[in-house]
Amino acid sequence: MKIIQICPKCGLPGVKVNEKAVIYNLKKSKEAKLIVKLKWSACINPECECSYYTKGKVFTSADLVKPLFYKDKSYNVPICYCTDLTRGEIKNAVKNGCESISEVRKFTKKNITGHCEKMNPLGKCCKQVFLRTIKQ
């Protein structure tokens, strides 16, 4: 049976996140050492200030190194965290004729990939979010 953790701030279900993503995306603090070996979740509710949580511990968006793409709709928020490729850069590339991830990466000269497990705040590949941003 899969247990879904509920966000202690907004009461909505969260998504499971690996500890590598939590550690990497938190601002460096004493707390980072305390989070090892815990089961973490991310609150994906755009209206909630909570970013990561586990039993007895909550981090907010202010505790993170970079903004979360699913909570921040600005052009400066990263969509691909491996290269720090922002929503605005993707939209600009599309305006200039790019229609695919590879074309956007070539246009922006941001080609680093493969570090999603720790760099992406959800610990997952950005491909689906990247494609959705291109379509928008």
Give 52-78 pLDDT, tens digit per residue.
Answer: 999 888 999 999 999 999 999 999 999
* Domains of the chain as residue ranges with CATH: 15-63 (no CATH), 78-135 (1.10.10)
H-only helix segments in the chain = 19-25, 31-34, 87-95, 101-108, 116-119, 127-135
Instruction: Look at residue 103 in the predicted model and tell me its pLDDT.
Output: 97
What is d(CA 136, CA 124) in angstroms, rounded to the nearest whole number? Answer: 21
User: What length does the chain have?
Assistant: 136
Instruction: Look at residue 32 in the predicted model and tell me its pLDDT.
Output: 60
Residues 51 and 90 sit within 8 Å (Cβ to Cβ): no
Taking only the tens of pLDDT, the chain with its 136 residues reads 567 789 999 999 999 999 889 989 998 765 666 666 788 999 999 999 999 999 888 999 999 999 999 999 999 999 999 999 999 999 999 999 999 999 999 999 998 888 888 899 999 998 999 999 999 8
